[in-house]
Structure 1
């Protein structure tokens, strides 16, 4: 006979001698809110024993196989759990007014870790007006009992704050869905999860930007030098220009470190009117830049990369469909800096050993990530190059609208004349 079976045998003999031949009950252990909880959460262990004819039990809690009892309550609560509370728990009981005893329950494992809310986007963070998008918020390693809140990251001077979305309830179930993106949805988002009473809240998640491009933005972001990739330790100018040459625009950026900043708050930059000048570029200046109006609208988002090595010269804004695209490769430590290099699209070689690559009649099928590579100097970062509708398409659209209006005019005129005649005839009808 195994030694581990001996206590149960002795318990059975004891119960028989006491005149109790009923089945020995086995307790059940439950953990609320979940077997996996997070540092600071309130956790309750509960022991339930269904023993026929027994009205009251004295409970014994054990941890990690120990014979010592750390609690004698049916429910044991950790008001603020820590990693030291993690472990394997089991319970057993003895009759308060009698001699009956229960078996040991099965062990249950409690895991305690640091809570992390993780935010992601589907299908992508770069969109055009009207595209659908979904933000997904998850808590690492747990999916039980959470409700979610959604925030946008805002900037005030050099400080970042979080503003609760007015329609935050849209994020029930960990998903915040926008069926048709508009310019107002552009922003930097975070989420947070909570559960239990009193409510336990996770920290804010990682930041997730959404960039929505308008069809006809009221302002243009002019970048000098006019490219998306730049050398280090050079001057970079970004200007917001609208038709009235207004000074009511602010250049703002979101860096790879998740920082949201105004140009005027940057150490090596200054803003004069609607022009931001970075006096000496640094890899930390890599990020998305845009123009923000005085009323808070965001326009003309451009992804800028500052790199210490090889860079790709590519257009700042989407290429108009039908136009030619010219790409060049540069290296800052030679004169002239232009390189003879290989050019790639989405990881595939498309042209080798050339000083510039020209794609005639750029179209939707040419969209993708481009970079260049030199066998000795290395390769550039990737740049996303997209297409926008041609000028002829815009003209055709205007002509279609005008032709529709003109085609409808005769019908409108006839309808108005008929209504007028009908009204006059009714007025002449004798009473």
Structure 2
């Protein structure tokens, strides 16, 4: 009989991390790192896959590549976002209904390009792993009416990057949309302004109401357990990161990146400018004051000496 003592009871666990772990733009360099947790083995060979096929076979623990539109996936572990915007962003926003970045399968999702003046001529475009770069209405269940695209019955392959594009080639800020079954995280579509309230819900597709009593995580760390919602009353820049929820029986949601915008009013900017100016010249003011003080003391001493002589 074959000796089976060398066969491991559990397979080694691998974890892939991405640098940078936040917003990545076209032309940037991305590094993938694979850490394998296993006892007794110190040397591994790594196969890096792209769209199901081996892209690189190496003994190196890290794989670095330049991000382009052609090889840009939307990944579960991080948010890969294309810079589709011009130097000056047009006054158009992509509005999603239901108003969240994660959606269940087999539901209707509406995406509209809204302008304060006129949204005529704007269409919704997208990039997905399955179909690549295309018009939103190119999907089997998609239809475009004016500047609104409606996906009548979502599927996993609708996960991707969506943005508004005009006839002249102008593009608005893109949004990552994830389609998932069972459990999703309800989070803001657009960045949250510093000082505002952030509310997150964990939703389950097969119950009414859909709210779950679940655990909420930020960047892999548990921040709130067994609650139907998580509320951060005053958001700051430190709250920026990847969030997801997890239910012990239903499973966990995909991760969503939540951005925090720091807003400075004109008065705040003026005060900061004045303070920075004062701090910049303060060493010179201090030296000047010291010199004036010394000159005054010398003059007083000289007068006192003359009076004593007289």
Provide the TM-score with structure 1 as the length reference.
0.46
Larger Rg belongs to: 1
Q: What is the aligned partner in structure 2 of residue 232 from structure 1? A: 105
Asked if 1:126 is matched to 2:23, the reply is yes
Instruction: Report the secondary structure of 2:245's partner residue.
Output: strand
Q: How does 1:41-80 map to 2 (within 5 A)?
A: none
Distance of 1:262 and 1:282 partners within structure 2: 16
Deviation at 1:272, TM superposition (A): 0.9
Deviation at 1:389, TM superposition (A): 2.1
Q: Which runs of 5+ in 1 are unaligned?
A: 1-120, 143-173, 177-186, 191-205, 404-431
Contact kept? 1:309, 1:332, Cα under 8 Å = yes
CA spacing shift, 1:398–1:248, aligned 2, 3 Å: farther
Q: How does 1:94-173 map to 2 (within 5 A)?
A: 123=20, 126-127=23-24, 133-134=28-29, 140=56
Deviation at 1:375, TM superposition (A): 1.3
Q: Which runs of 5+ in 2 are unaligned?
A: 1-17, 32-54, 59-63, 74-79, 275-310
Instruction: Report the secondary structure of 2:137's partner residue.
Output: helix
Q: How does 1:241-320 map to 2 (within 5 A)?
A: 241-257=114-130, 259-320=132-193
CA spacing shift, 1:362–1:258, aligned 2, 3 Å: farther
Q: What is the aligned partner in structure 2 of residue 341 from structure 1? A: 214
Asked if 1:355 is matched to 2:228, the reply is yes
Contact kept? 1:319, 1:325, Cα under 8 Å = yes
Instruction: Report the secondary structure of 2:161's partner residue.
Output: strand
CA spacing shift, 1:313–1:277, aligned 2, 3 Å: same
Contact kept? 2:89, 2:171, Cα under 8 Å = no
Contact kept? 2:90, 2:170, Cα under 8 Å = no
Contact kept? 1:232, 1:282, Cα under 8 Å = yes
Instruction: Report the secondary structure of 1:276's partner residue.
Output: strand
CA spacing shift, 1:382–1:122, aligned 2, 3 Å: closer
Deviation at 1:256, TM superposition (A): 2.9
Deviation at 1:135, TM superposition (A): 6.6
Q: How does 1:208-227 map to 2 (within 5 A)?
A: 210-212=81-83, 217-227=90-100
Provide the TM-score with structure 2 as the length reference.
0.63
Distance of 1:259 and 1:277 partners within structure 2: 18
Distance of 1:241 and 1:381 partners within structure 2: 27
Deviation at 1:394, TM superposition (A): 3.9
Q: What is the aligned partner in structure 1 of residue 304 from structure 2? A: none
Between Structure 1 and Structure 2, how many residues are aligned? 222
Distance of 1:240 and 1:274 partners within structure 2: 6
Distance of 2:119 and 2:269 partners within structure 1: 28
Contact kept? 2:81, 2:174, Cα under 8 Å = no
Deviation at 1:298, TM superposition (A): 2.2
Contact kept? 1:322, 1:363, Cα under 8 Å = yes
Deviation at 1:243, TM superposition (A): 1.5
Q: How much is the aligned-residue C-alpha RMSD, in angstroms?
A: 3.3
Contact kept? 1:253, 1:288, Cα under 8 Å = yes
Residue in structure 2 matching 1:369, options 242, 245, 249: 242
Question: Deviations along 1:355-402, whole A, 9 cap, x unmatched?
Answer: 111012111111111111111111111111111122xx0444776799
Deviation at 1:134, TM superposition (A): 3.4
Deviation at 1:245, TM superposition (A): 2.7
Question: Deviations along 1:149-168, whole A, 9 cap, x unmatched?
Answer: xxxxxxxxxxxxxxxxxxxx
Distance of 2:137 and 2:131 partners within structure 1: 18
Instruction: Report the secondary structure of 2:157's partner residue.
Output: helix
Instruction: Report the secondary structure of 1:365's partner residue.
Output: helix
Q: What is the aligned partner in structure 2 of residue 169 from structure 1? A: none
Q: What is the aligned partner in structure 1 of residue 69 from structure 2? A: 189
Instruction: Report the secondary structure of 1:211's partner residue.
Output: coil
Question: Deviations along 1:42-79, whole A, 9 cap, x unmatched?
Answer: xxxxxxxxxxxxxxxxxxxxxxxxxxxxxxxxxxxxxx
Residue in structure 2 matching 1:387, options 257, 260, 270: 260
Contact kept? 1:188, 1:210, Cα under 8 Å = no
